[in-house]
Each structure stands twice: as structure tokens, then as C-alpha cells.
Amino acid sequence: MRNHYDTLHAMAMSEERKISVNGVKGLSPLLRVTGFDVIRNVPVDYMHNVLLGVCRQLCSIWFETPGSPAYIKRKLPVIDEIIFTIHPYVEASRRTRRITEGASWKANEWLHWLLHYSPICLFTTLPTLYYNHFLLLVDAVTNLLQSNLTECKFELCEEILKKFVKDFETLYGIEEMTYNVHLLTHLVASARDYGPLWSFALFPFEDMNGIFKSYIKGPNEPLMQIANRCILQSEVNYPRNRTLQKKVADFCDKINRVQTIGTINTQEKYILEDVVKNNYSNSREFDILSRLKYAEFIYKPTFIINSTKGKHKRKKHNDCYFSIEEGQLRMFGIFQKILYDGHNPYFLYTILKVKLIRSHFWKILNVADEGLKLIRVNNSISKLISFKYDSETYISKLQYKLRVD
């Protein structure tokens, strides 16, 4: 793996011979910065390297390269059909689009494809050898996105990614060994130095590019337009003790208001039916919550009722599936209501009987005929999203919530 001193040597040779040496073209101005390591101090951005790089490259091989033994273009309708069954969920910033529209996918769509959709969509469509190889990348990136990284996880991910890169050449040929594939070997070192992959990803900067673009209102001097509007925006953050006209103050408050999603009390009360046991207290009366934010994920009851032009419409969504541990058991369910007793949130749910397909991926066998159950939400809860394939329903653990703050 390339290091600082090898790169300095390549730079010197390139500068002397006026040619590219191992992909290095001349001396970098950053060498003037004292103590700067040209390898370790330039972390790998997983958004461009993994999502817009390796993921796109693999899909190009699978769907656009007829000579590849992994070519599965004929399976595209099946994959699109599975993706189309995914109902919206809060953590996905946009409606799920078909893989045939992958050329216009944004980075966050590739993120959900890698972590959540592809393990299910490719399970029966991609040859087993290539599927198992791809899962190495899924598992490594999933682990490196978690906040609780340990040396044990670093070593595991390093081993997984080295195997992924080594086998990549065997499976896809040396012509597919691109720079992005090589950069995967540096991914763990970047996480060791800077933290989880999301903590130094370029998502927030790309997000700001969209904001800056909206500041440009004409063709002349775009940089000055951006600068002027940034200055204007900073001036809006006025001291609270300054006296302003009400209209101006309301306008400034509207600009500066931070929208947060938490528990929203609908002011309704719910009385547990006699057949529903409360194993936690003697209380039978609860507040009803329209949604719950717990451990960064948003949970909503089975259906959301929207009132549009006087008509009520049931909107299906994917925020009501969960799994949770209680005692020594892990249970799976779909909840109909979120209840609150003033101290803890609860789910009023129906038990799902499931079969493990692979890690974090289950097939729903049936809905248990045991009526509604009450369970107290705890830190072991996982949010799940559902898919359908060949008349069967599957659920997958939601691994990660995109951070762009």
C-alpha cells in the first residue's frame, strides 16, 4: 500500500523526468505545509470512492458489460420490481427510483442501494460467487459508518476490504482494477485517523453547493453574488436584544428556525383493551404519539392519515417495522400505535414470524395470530424496512441514517 515516502519518491522522479510515475504527476504545493503527510492527511471520501465510484462501476459491469460472467441485464426488470415495492421511509430523502435510472441517481440513493436494497435485490439475481464477494463491501462499509468503532472492527474491516480488492481482479479482470478499487485499501486507515466514514464525508459540502447555487440570480459575477448573500444571511442572525419591527423579526425568525423532529403528542388518550397485557405497570391509559424519534431513527404507526381537500387518504410507508430484544428473545413486529405513559414510549404491535436469510435480512413467514401486544421501547430496538419479491415479503435492518449536518 502506498505511503508518504514512496509518494515523495514518485513525485521527485516525476518532476525530474516530466512524466507520470505510478499515477503521480510532479510535486504537490501541499508539501510546503510542515508535517503534512500526502497519504494520511488526505482521507478517502467514501461518497465519491465507494458510492459514486465502486458501486457505479459494479452496476456498469453487471448491467452494461455483456462479456462479463456477472452480466445480468436480463434481471433488471426483477430488480426494478423489488425496488418499486419499497414504500417511503423518513430516512430516505427521496422516493426510491428504479436501478434503470441509476445514471441519474444521487450519492444518497447509491448509499441506500449499497446498504439496504442491493443485498435483497441481488440475492436471487447475481451469481452466488459475485454476490458473496459484493457482500464483503457491504459489510465493511456498514461497520465503518457506525459511531462505536473499535480496533477489533478496524482489523476486521481491513481484512474484509483486502480480500474484496484481491478477489476483484480475479472475478472482474485487471482492466477493472481502477483507482477507486485501490482506494478501498486506504479506507480503514482514514477511519482510524478521522473517525467513522460519515464524519469526514463530503455530503455536507455537496449540500452547501446546492445552497450556493441558489444564491446566483444572474450571469454576472456569480462569486460576488454568493459572497453578498452569505454576508446578508449572517446579518440576519441579529442579537435578541435588538428592537426590530414585528414583520422583520418574524421574517428573521422564519429564516433562522431550526426544524427538529421529535415525539409529537396528538393530545389523544388510548385505553388498553382488557385482552392486551401490560407487563410493565398497572397503567391502562396512555397518550398517543404520532411519531417517535429513538436512537436517531423515526418510527411512525402503520398508516398516516392525511386530509387533502376534505378527503382522508391512507398513505403507506416503511416506518412501522421493528425488531427488539426483551429478556433473551429478539422479537419482530409491525406496530399500529405508539403509546406514552409520561416516562417511556411503547409500541402496540403485532408479532411477525420470520426466517433469517442472511445477516440483517429476514423473510416474513406469517403474522402471528396472537392479537395485539404491548412492548416498551428500549435501546436494543432496530428499525426495519420491507420489500416484496415473488409474492413474499422480506424485511431488512436499516443500518444507517445519512448525516449532512
Q: Alpha carbon of 161 to those of 98, 143, 166, 173: distances in Å?
A: 28, 12, 8, 17
DSSP structural state of residue 318: S
Task: Please say whether the beta carbons of 68 and 61 come within 8 A.
Answer: yes
Long-range contacts of 79-84 (CB under 8 A, 24+ apart): 79/121, 79/122, 79/125, 81/389, 82/117, 82/120, 82/121, 82/387, 82/388, 82/389, 83/117, 83/121
The pLDDT value given to residue 330: 93
The reported pTM is 0.80
Q: Alpha carbon of 146 to those of 53, 200, 304, 401: distances in Å?
A: 21, 13, 30, 10
The pLDDT value given to residue 265: 53
Domain boundaries in the chain?
46-201, 215-256, 265-397
Instruction: Give the Cα separation of 244 and 249 in Å (integer).
Output: 6
Beta-bridge partners for 355: 363
DSSP structural state of residue 282: S
The pLDDT value given to residue 405: 43
pLDDT string in tens for the chain (405-residue length): 678 888 888 999 998 888 988 888 888 898 889 888 888 888 999 999 999 999 999 999 999 999 999 999 999 999 999 998 888 888 887 778 889 898 899 998 999 999 999 998 998 899 999 999 999 999 999 999 988 889 999 999 999 999 999 999 999 999 999 999 999 999 999 999 999 999 899 888 888 888 888 889 888 888 888 888 888 776 655 555 555 567 666 655 654 443 333 445 556 688 999 999 999 999 899 988 888 988 778 898 875 444 444 444 455 678 899 999 998 899 999 999 999 988 899 999 999 999 998 888 899 999 888 889 999 999 999 999 998 888 889 999 988 776 654
Task: Please say whether the beta carbons of 374 and 286 come within 8 A.
Answer: no
E strands, 195-244, in order: none
User: How many residues make up the chain in this entry?
Assistant: 405
Burial of 333 (0-12, 13-18, 19+ CB in 10 A): buried
The pLDDT value given to residue 252: 53
